[in-house]
A and B are shown apart, each in its own frame.
Chain A
Amino acid sequence: MLKFLNRDRLSYAVFFIAIAIIGLSVENYYYVQLLTFIGINTILALGLNMLMGYAGQISLGHAAFYGLGAYTTAVLTVHYGFSPWLALPCAILLSMLVAFLVGLPTLKLSGYYLGMGTLGFGMIVHIVFREWSSMTGGSSGFIGIPPLEIGPVSFSQIRNFFYLVWLTVLISFIVSKRLIHSRIGRALRAIHDSENAARAMGINTRNMKLEIFVFSAGLSALAGFFYAHLVSFISPGTFSFIVSIKIVTMVVIGGMASVWGSLLGASLLTMLPEWLHAFSEFEMVVYGLILMLVMVLLPQGLTRGLLDIYERTRSKKDQP
């Protein structure tokens, strides 16, 4: 166990240094911004991975919590003059509260039915963002969300924002890893493997699912908060059904039940559209094809899939 902990700590340290090096060395504004988006998406993917990869509960409506985070901070800072740092806990708590209320009936469902329940919820929230114009700006969007600042440090400087987001990613990683390797994490994984046996071991599966759903919603809202203050403009399209699916895709392509897989999946899916700009109008076709190909060839996701390939080639080498 001690050895294991050390390996984790080592990877955190490497991660931390990597953030510092990238932050210092990347000059191009566009790239720093892209990397910041990757960080935000990593938080999103991590939140969903905790729910889907570890506890085995699918959600096709996670963009709703992302959006709740973004819209709550937008409304509070612009309409009510809150400081963003005061809006942050409000956004997270509201999102968690909604997750709790929605999760109570929804998490009774399982499999496809759970997927559909969360999908319906996501659509409704999206429609509310679109139609509640007086509050959210409607489909034309919400402008003028103030940038973040702490005393003299302004995060309208993209590089500062980069550090802020990625340090948050690091903290989210640590928090998630700790959860996974605790009594709670074991219970969640138990539910994933066999809900029957989990119940027979005294795990209150309903409460446990609800707790991780709420936690997951909180992380998504955090990502939404960052997004709103980074871009300063939000519109319902950013939190639509397609986006919910995109988050699921990040988790599955990166690798379910893998914290680092979330990072990989978020990186790939954030960068892919940027690369695909080169294809101009073929962008959608290529994107769809890549999605299908990866799932057909590596249904376990890239992390596990590539590891398997690596292990296979190594074992081939071992036995000539």
Chain B
Amino acid sequence: MNEPDRKKTSHKPLLTLNSIAKAFGGVQALWNISFDLKEGMVQALIGPNGAGKTTLFNLITGIFTPDSGEILFDGRPIGGKKVYDLVQVGIARTFQNVELFGSMTALENVMVGQHVRTRCGFWSAVTRTPWMVKEETASRKKALKIMAFVGIDHLANRRSSELSFGWQRLLEIARALSSSPRLLLLDEPAAGLNTVETRQLGTLLKKIQAQGITLLLVEHDMGLIMDISNRIVVLDQGEKIAEGTPREVQSNEAVMSAYLGRSEH
């Protein structure tokens, strides 16, 4: 158990946050957040409601720009980059409330995920040049392969809005994976799933990790977090109050009081 962990810690950090701060109006949503995310790890971001998890998520995915501090991806600063540029760099995400392209088939959804990895433009789409046809076929094949990996290839031609919520979750993960990310951010991937589905999700996330993709997830389901994450960062009221392995975090007093203290009120 310790052996692979130590091997992973020898990896260089894929994502680095250096004293990030963000305020909305007069409200300090995040203050002085720093942590490293090492390549190949599964890291969880937890904290009570209003701790700033979503804000932090939106900062990493480029929706907001930090007021101060820097975010490094693979050693290069990405703070302030456009959302769509970050996908090119290798950061993909899923949404808390599942945002699929409802009028398109599941397969097409996954193919959209490859947008930044394919090149076909207006002109080649119209002229259907041989390389465009080849790219299209390859893209379709890759999409199907990813869907099979996630376990939803039998739904390829169904309209995505018709799928059950559990399938939609998986489809969203497949869509994110098809952009060939190095870092995958998952916003409460277990929300709305039942226990069986959550367990399956855990297995899938481990499979994704085994592919060498780094995962950062915001999650409330402690069972899932303890099961799959290598490291946990705990936020409370916009500040980082603890960081460590699941076991360390579990026995951390600040964490206990943040969670239990709040719920006793």
Contact = CB atoms under 8 A, between A and B. Distances in A.
B125 A203 contact: no
Q: Is the interface of A mostly helix, strand, loop or mixed?
A: helix
Contacts of B85: 202
Interface stretch (A24-32, A182-190, A231-239): A182-190
A215 interface: yes
A200 interface: yes
Contact of B93 (A198, A200, A215): A200
A283 interface: no
A285 interface: no
Contacts of B162: none
Interface string B89-118: 000110100011111100010011111101
A293 to B, nearest CB: 26
B222 to A, nearest CB: 27
A150 interface: no
A220 B114 CA distance: 31
A197 B116 CA distance: 14
Contact of A186 (B84, B111, B132, B135): B111
B106 to A, nearest CB: 13
B134 interface: no
Contacts of A197: 95, 99-101
B122 A215 contact: yes
B125 A179 contact: yes
A257 interface: yes
A201 interface: yes
B125 A185 contact: yes
Given A178-B126, A200-B61, A200-B87, A187 B115 contact: yes
15 contacts: A1-B140, A183-B111, A183-B125, A185-B125, A186-B104, A186-B108, A187-B115, A193-B100, A193-B103, A194-B99, A197-B95, A201-B175, A202-B87, A211-B122, A215-B122
Contacts of A200: 61, 83-84, 87, 92-93, 95, 99
A197 B96 CA distance: 12
Contact of B115 (A175, A179, A201): A201
Given A202-B84, A211-B122, A182 B112 contact: no
B125 A184 contact: yes
Nearest to A212: B122
Contact of B101 (A178, A193, A211): A193
Contacts of B61: 200
Contacts of B121: 184
A203 to B, nearest CB: 5
Given A186-B104, A200-B95, A201-B84, 13 more contacts: A178-B128, A179-B122, A184-B120, A187-B115, A193-B102, A194-B101, A196-B99, A198-B112, A201-B116, A201-B175, A202-B86, A202-B88, A215-B122
B232 to A, nearest CB: 25
Interface residues of B, number: 38
Contacts of A183: 111, 114-115, 118, 120, 125, 135-136, 139
A175, A185, A186, A200 — which one has the most chain B CB atoms within 10 A of its CB? Answer: A200
A205 B84 contact: yes
A192 B61 CA distance: 21
A182 B100 contact: no
B65 interface: no
A108 interface: no
A189 B125 contact: no
A199 B81 CA distance: 12
B112 A186 contact: yes
A189 B121 CA distance: 15
A43 to B, nearest CB: 16
Contacts of A201: 84, 87, 112-113, 115-116, 175, 179
Contacts of A110: none
A6 to B, nearest CB: 15
Nearest to A189: B104
Contacts of B101: 189-190, 193-194, 197-198
A211 B112 CA distance: 17
